[in-house]
Amino acid sequence: MNLFIAFLFLLPSSTYITGDALSGGIKERCGFQNQIERAYLPSMPGWPKTLTSHPNYASCGATMTDLDGDGIMEIMAGSTSGEFKLWDIDGNIIWEKSGLGMIQSKPAIGDIDLDGEKEIVITNRTNTIYIWNFDGSNHPGWPAYVGETSGLKSPVLFDLDGDDTLEIILGERDYPKGKINVFKQNGTLLWSDTLDYMCVATPAVGDIDNDSIFEIVAASYYSIFVWDANGNLEPGWPLTIAPAGGMSYSQPTLVDLDNDGNLEIAITYYDWNLSNDYLGIWKYDATTFLGWPQDLWGGQSYGTPVPADVDFDSIIELCDASSHYMNGPLHLFSSSGTEEPGWPFYFSGFLEGTPVVFDFDDDGYMELLVANNSTPGEIYVLNYDGTQIPGAPFDVQGTFMVNGATVGDADGDGDIEICLLVTSGTTAYVNLFTLESIPYKGYLAPYFSWFHDIWNTGWMHPACPNGLSLSTTRAVVRAEWNKNQEPDIYGYFVYRSDSTGGPYQKLNTTPYIDTFYFDTTVIEGQKYFYTVSAVIKAGTESYLSLEDSITIPASVFEREHTTPCLNIFCPTLNRKFLEIKFTNLKAKNNKIEIIDITGRRIREWNIHKSSGILITKLPRGIYFITLNKETILQKVIVL
C-alpha cells in the first residue's frame, strides 16, 4: 500500500488539499447508535457536475476520453430526464442537449468514419440512436429510429468488414422477440436478426474462433446467440442456458482463458427453475468450459463478468457478483471455477454495478473498484486477496445501480482520475475524482471502463507483445518485437527501467505504430531493462511483454563508417546530402532504410543488385541507417 495514498484518505480534508483536488478526506456519517468517520475521494476542481434524473429510473454510464486529440479528456454523460452533456476537464460545458428521451446507457466513442475525429454514439430507452460529432452536430445519416432499445444496455462499435470505418451494433428489447441490428456509419442497416425473446444486454464482439472473421455475441432472456460479421448464425448457436428465463443485463465477456487462441464466452444469468444466479462460461463451439457454471449465491445478477490476472500467476481470474442479495457477495474465481483465497467479499447493501480494474494505490498490483446501491453510496476498492485498501469504502452522493466507472489520466499530468456517476433522487452526480501523485499505469488497467473499452466491445484484448529483442550501436538502443495479430491495434508503448521489474519510464507519450523503436537517451556503461505493451484504438493497453535487458558499450567517435558491404558518406561541408555506397550484397533482395530519431521511416530502398550508390537529401536531424532491419550501421547527424 502506498503510504501517500493512505495518508490522503485517512486525514481530514482540512489538512490535505492537492493541486488537482477540490476536496477529499474524512466526513462524519450518522448511524442509529453512533457516528463513524468515513473517507471520501478528492475531486478535480469544478467537479462534481449534475444532471436531472427521472425519479423512477437512475442514470448511468458517464465516461471520458480524449475526443479532439489534445491529450486532455472530455467527460460526458446522459440522464433519464433526456439530457446529455459534454464537459471539459475543468467542468465547463462544451455543449449540451435536452429532450432526447430517457438515456440510461454508456456512450460508445470512436472514429466511425475515419475522418480523424471521434464520434459519440448513444441510445435512449425508447427507439432512437444518436450519433454526434465533436461539436455536437448530428453525424450524417443520424439519428435513426428503431424498435424498443430499452435501458441498461449500450451500443457497440467495431470494424466488422475491414474497411477501417466502424459498424454500430445494437441490441433491441422489442417484446416479445428482440433483435440485433448492425449499421454502417452512414446510417445504412447492414443486417438484422431476431432472437427467441427480448434482448436485454449489451452485445459483445470479437474473433471467438480465431478465424480472422469477427463474431457478435448477444443474449436473449433465454439463450446466447453468435453470428458472424455478415449475420449468419455460427454452428452450435443459439444455446439455451435458462429455459425458464432469467438472462440479466450482463454483457457477454469474451476472453481466452486457456491460451488456445479461441475466446470463451462468460455471462451472468438467472435460472428461474432453480432460483439462483450463475456465472457460466462456454467455448466458441457452444460446449461448456470445464469447471463452469458457478453459483453466485443469490437472485438475479446484473453485473458483467470482469476478467483480469489480478495476482500475476498467469491465470486469468473472473470477478462477478450476486445483485439481489442484501449485503451479498462479490466473487473472484480462478478460470478453473474455484473461488480465490480471501473471497467472496460481502458488501453493505446491494451491488448491481460492474467493477473496473487498475492499480489504485501504486503498489504494483491491480485493485477492483465498484460502488454499491446505497444512498448515500459507498465506493469499494479491493485488493487481489479480497481485503479492502486502507480508508475504504469511500462515501459518494448516491446509488451506483447498473453502472460502471471509467479510469485514466484525464488531465494529462500522469496521475489517475476516476469518472463515476451516481444518482440520488432526481439528481445524477457526475464525479471526477483524482488520485494525485498516483501514476496511471495503462498496462495495469486491463478493464479500465465499463464494457472493457470506449467501443464497448466486451472483448478482453489486446495480448501483450512477444519477441522483444534489443541491439545497440553508438549509444543507441534498437528495440524490436513481433506485431500483434489483433486488427484494431493503435500502436505500442516502450518502457525502460534501470532495474529489473521496474519502476518503468514510458519512452513514447503516444502509441508508436511500428514494431521497432530507437532509444537515443541511454548512457554508456549503463544497463537498461525494456518492456513493451500494445494499445487498441478503443483505449485498452495490454499487460507488459517479457522484459529484456542490454548494457550500453563505450561510445565511438563519429567517423565515416565502412562495413564489408556498405560505405556511408556524409560530406563535412555539405551534410544535407547523404551518400550510401553498397557492394558485395549477398542476398537477392535487400532493404536499406533511413530512420529518424523518433523511429519514423524517412527513406527506404529495395535493392535487387549487389552494388550501387544511393544519394538522398535530408533536413536537419539525427538519422540511423539500417540494412534489412537487423543492424544500426551508422548514426548520421545532418546540420
| CATH number of 131's domain | 2.130.10.10
Q: In this model, does residue 247 exceed pLDDT 80?
A: no
- Indicate if 495 and 361 belong to the same structural domain: no
| Among 494, 522, 552, residue at a domain's last position | 552
* Amino acid (1-letter code) at residue 555: S
Q: What percent of the chain has pLDDT over 90?
A: 70
- The answer as to whether 241 is a domain residue is yes
Assigned domain for 33 exists: no
Mean pLDDT, range 394-411, rounded to an integer:
96
Domain count, the chain: 3
Q: Indicate if 156 and 272 belong to the same structural domain.
A: yes
The pLDDT-based confidence of 611 (bands split at 50, 70, 90) is: confident
* Residue-level pLDDT at 165: 97
Closest Cα partner for 568 from 477, 480, 638?
Answer: 638
Domain encompassing residue 476 = 466-552
pLDDT of residue 506: 97
Predicted confidence band of residue 33 (pLDDT cuts 50, 70, 90) = very low
- What is d(CA 436, CA 415) in angstroms, rounded to the nearest whole number? 6
Residues 472 and 497 occupy one common structural domain: yes
User: What band does 39 get if pLDDT is binned at 50, 70 and 90?
Assistant: confident
Q: What angle do CA 168, 171, 172 make, to 5 degrees?
A: 125
Strands (E), 537-576: 548-551, 561-562, 566-569
Q: Is residue 325 scored above 90 in pLDDT?
A: no
Q: What pLDDT sits at residue 568?
A: 63
What are 362-366's contacts with CB under 8 Å, separation 24+? 362/2, 362/5, 362/438, 362/439, 363/1, 363/2, 364/444, 364/502, 365/310, 365/311, 365/312, 365/444, 366/308, 366/310, 366/444, 366/445, 366/446
Closest to 514 (Cα-Cα) out of 604, 428, 411, 431:
604
Per-residue pLDDT at 570: 58
Q: Are residues 262 and 335 in the same domain?
A: yes
Among 552, 574, 605, the domain boundary falls at: 552
Integer angstrom CA distances of residue 289 from 132, 181, 258, 320: 41, 28, 10, 17
* Residue 526: pLDDT over 80: yes
The CATH number of residue 523's host domain is 2.60.40.10
Task: Please count the other Cβ atoms lying within 10 Å of the Cβ belonging to residue 553.
Answer: 12
pLDDT at 122 (0 to 100): 97
The pLDDT tens digits of the residues spanning 491-512 come to 999 999 999 999 999 999 999 9
Is 289 in the same domain as 156? yes
114, 119, 123, 124 alpha-carbon torsion, rounded to 10°:
-150
Q: Is residue 256 part of a domain?
A: yes
Per-residue confidence band for 18, with pLDDT thresholds at 50, 70 and 90: very low
In a domain, 38, yes or no: no
Average pLDDT over residues 284-294: 97
pLDDT band at 227 (very low <50, low <70, confident <90, very high): very high
pLDDT of 636 = 63
Of 79-88, 355-364, 609-618, the range with the lowest mean pLDDT is 609-618
How many C-beta neighbours within 10 Å does residue 143 have?
Answer: 18
pLDDT on residue 564? 59
CATH code of the domain containing 593: 2.60.40
Mean of pLDDT values over 80-84: 97
> Are both 71 and 167 inside the same structural domain?
yes
What does pLDDT average to over the chain? 88
- Statement to judge: residues 210 and 188 lie in one domain: yes
36 found inside a domain:
no
pLDDT of residue 395: 96
pLDDT at residue 473 above 80? no
pLDDT of residue 507: 96
What is the layout of strands, in order, in the sheet containing 631-638?
601-607, 590-596, 621-627, 631-638
184 and 74 fall within a common domain: yes
What pLDDT score does 226 carry? 98
Which of 552, 574, 607 is the C-terminal boundary of a domain? 552
Confidence of residue 20 (pLDDT cuts 50, 70, 90): very low
* Inside any domain, residue 557: no
In this structure, the answer to whether residues 423 and 513 fall within a common structural domain is no
In a domain, 14, yes or no: no
Residue 445 lies in a domain: no
Q: What is the pLDDT of residue 30?
A: 33
**2-6, 116-120, 210-214, 260-264: which range is least confident on average?**
2-6
- List, for residues 138-171, the tens digit of each pLDDT value: 999 999 999 888 888 899 999 999 999 999 999 9
DSSP single-letter state for residue 447: B
In terms of DSSP H, where are the helices of 140-294? Answer: none
Please tell me the distance from the alpha carbon of residue 464 to that of residue 475, in angstroms, as a whole number.
Answer: 27
Which residues, 6+ apart, have CB-to-CB distance to 550 below 8 Å? 470, 471, 472, 477, 527, 528, 530
Is 235 in the same domain as 365? yes
My answer on whether 187 and 323 are in the same domain is: yes
Given a cut of 90, is residue 89 above it in pLDDT?
A: yes
Q: Are residues 203 and 232 in the same domain?
A: yes
What local confidence, expressed as pLDDT, does residue 638 receive? 59
pLDDT band (50, 70, 90) for residue 184: very high
Q: What proportion of the chain, given as a percentage, has pLDDT over 70? A: 88
Query: Is the CB of residue 171 less than 8 Å from the CB of residue 180?
Result: yes
Segment among 125-134, 293-302, 340-349 with least mean pLDDT? 293-302
Question: Which of the pair, 296 or 16, is modelled with greater confidence?
Answer: 296
DSSP 8-state code for residue 10: H
Q: Please, which pLDDT band fits residue 28 given cuts at 50, 70 and 90? A: very low
